[in-house]
């Protein structure tokens, strides 16, 4: 269990008799197998991550020693292991509840890179790469965003791929190769990953192609993005490709256009919306504990009406967000979750998250601006969730287009 003296971290005490932040009992929708696995995950997070997460965040260090332990949980791509989409979402929410950075690493590697192998990899690529990736013996990244193109990357992508026939390079396998040139930015896991899924525009026909790029190839350079105020444990990278030679065997055969990525992007957007749920659960946990234990004017903060009002608003936001995501998970299970529904979920949950973490920071007063008490870290990390996987504004406009039939984006 987590040390009871650790400031701002829920511990075994009188709070254990109070209702959890899952106020409507959504976890009861899980199977018995899933509930037991979720409890195993919580125990792991309490021992292996919670006591150290703030230090990693303060130092902007990624705990690579955790990878074998994370792999031992056997939670890579849960849906591929027979778990429900609801369980998969709650896994991300629970990891986020303890540390957003580790949750972000998890979803970038498993929900983007590993799921890409499942969905678009050839039989040979799966045989060569999937087992090591699923078991975290190798790590992956998803290289889509560019220095000058974020929300408009589909149409504005500048990274180029040119096919060259008759290569004789041993590293190319002796066959055709692709020459990559360009740059990517904000690539999670990018500083240390073994492989990255790189998106580039085919010079021949303008189509978007996907490539499995060995990060050690000549011409690949990586540098860590410094001075972040959010997700400091995540090693986001600037990546430059200069005449990088990628074998035809490492092109994703299942990718023929940017539209082929929609399933991946929809899935990762759902998981980031689950992160918005996890952030709210974390903020509520920390704020409630502080309100119950902190004495002001001779009584606990929790006895003040304004504090109770803020806690109830935080709880309501978290429960409403979780309820929306439970329905999204049900639609996923039925194969019916469309991008507009997912965009609404991401925009709504991230907006509620922003309000929730701000109230939590307020409840902690001055202690809310130092990472020692967790809330400052929760507050800062929320800003990344609000922006990535489609900013609040872009997701709002996707929904606006769906409900009006008119696009305000282009």
Q: Cβ of 79: how many Cβ atoms within 10 Å?
A: 16
pLDDT of residue 142: 94
Share of the chain above pLDDT 70, in %: 94
pLDDT bin (cut points 50, 70, 90) of residue 165 is confident
- Looking at the structure, tell me whether residues 226 and 343 fall in a common domain: no
pLDDT of residue 380: 97
Enclosing domain of residue 360:
260-404
Q: How many whole angstroms separate alpha carbon 83 and alpha carbon 77?
A: 9
- The residue among 292 and 8 whose pLDDT is bigger is 292
Q: With 80 as the cut, is the pLDDT of residue 170 above it? A: no
| Mean pLDDT (whole number) for 367-391 | 95
Q: pLDDT, tens digit, for every residue of 118-160? A: 989 999 999 999 999 999 999 999 999 999 988 888 788 999 9
- Looking at the structure, tell me whether residues 190 and 290 fall in a common domain: no
pLDDT of residue 13: 64
Beta-carbon contacts of residue 407 (< 8 Å; ≥ 6 apart): 397, 401
- Looking at the structure, tell me whether residues 100 and 190 fall in a common domain: no
Q: How many whole angstroms separate alpha carbon 383 and alpha carbon 359?
A: 14
pLDDT of residue 175: 67
Residue 17 resides in a domain: no
Show which of 256, 277, 296 is a domain's final residue: 256
Separation of first and last alpha carbons in the chain: 52
Q: With 80 as the cut, is the pLDDT of residue 85 above it? A: yes
Beta-carbon contacts of residue 207 (< 8 Å; ≥ 6 apart): 201, 256, 257
pLDDT of residue 392: 93
Residue 153 resides in a domain: yes
- pTM for this one? 0.91
Residue 76 resides in a domain: yes
Question: CATH number for the domain including 36?
Answer: 1.10.540.10
Q: pLDDT, tens digit, for every residue of 49-80? A: 999 999 999 999 999 999 999 999 999 989 88
Q: With 50 as the cut, is the pLDDT of residue 7 above it? A: no
pLDDT bin (cut points 50, 70, 90) of residue 166 is low
Question: CATH number for the domain including 273?
Answer: 1.20.140.10
Question: Tokens representing 43?
Answer: 């125990």
Q: Are 326 and 86 in contact (CB under 8 A)?
A: yes
- Looking at the structure, tell me whether residues 274 and 392 fall in a common domain: yes
DSSP code for 146: B
Q: Are 239 and 187 in contact (CB under 8 A)?
A: yes
């Amino acid at each position: 269990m987590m040390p009871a003296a650790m400031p701002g971290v829920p511990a075994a005490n009188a709070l254990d008799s109070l209702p959890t932040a899952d106020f409507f009992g959504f976890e009861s929708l899980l199977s018995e197998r899933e509930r037991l696995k979720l409890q195993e995950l919580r125990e792991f997070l309490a021992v292996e991550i919670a006591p150290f997460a703030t230090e990693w965040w303060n130092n902007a260090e990624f705990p690579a020693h955790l990878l074998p332990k994370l792999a031992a949980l056997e939670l890579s791509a849960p849906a591929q292991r027979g778990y429900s989409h609801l369980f998969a979402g709650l896994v991300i929410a629970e990891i986020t509840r303890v540390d957003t950075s580790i949750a972000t690493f998890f979803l970038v590697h498993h929900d983007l890179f590993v799921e890409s192998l499942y969905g678009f990899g050839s039989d040979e690529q799966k045989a060569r790469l999937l087992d090591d990736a699923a078991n975290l013996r190798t790590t992956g990244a998803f290289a889509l965003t560019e220095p000058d193109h974020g929300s408009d990357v589909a149409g504005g992508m500048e990274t180029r791929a040119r096919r060259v026939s008759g290569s004789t390079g041993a590293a190319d396998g002796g066959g055709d190769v692709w020459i990559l040139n360009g740059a990517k930015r904000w690539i999670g896991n990018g500083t240390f990953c073994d492989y990255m899924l790189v998106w580039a525009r085919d010079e021949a026909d303008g189509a978007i192609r996907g490539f499995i790029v060995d990060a050690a190839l000549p011409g690949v350079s990586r540098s860590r993005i410094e001075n972040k105020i959010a997700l400091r444990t995540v090693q986001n990278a600037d990546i430059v490709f200069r005449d990088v030679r990628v074998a035809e065997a490492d092109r994703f055969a299942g990718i023929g256009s940017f539209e082929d990525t929609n399933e991946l992007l929809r899935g990762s957007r759902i998981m980031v919306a689950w992160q918005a749920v996890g952030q709210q659960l974390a903020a509520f946990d920390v704020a409630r504990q502080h309100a119950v234990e902190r004495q002001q004017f001779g009584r606990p903060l929790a006895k003040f009406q304004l504090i109770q009002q803020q806690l109830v608003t935080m709880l309501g936001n978290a429960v409403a967000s979780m309820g929306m995501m439970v329905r999204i998970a049900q639609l996923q299970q039925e194969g019916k979750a469309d991008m507009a529904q997912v965009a609404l979920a991401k925009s709504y949950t991230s907006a509620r998250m922003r309000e929730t973490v701000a109230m939590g920071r307020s409840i902690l007063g001055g202690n809310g601006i130092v990472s020692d008490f967790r809330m400052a870290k929760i507050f800062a990390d929320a800003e990344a969730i609000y922006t990535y996987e489609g900013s609040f504004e872009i997701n709002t406009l996707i929904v606006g287009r769906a409900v009006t039939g008119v696009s305000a984006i282009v």
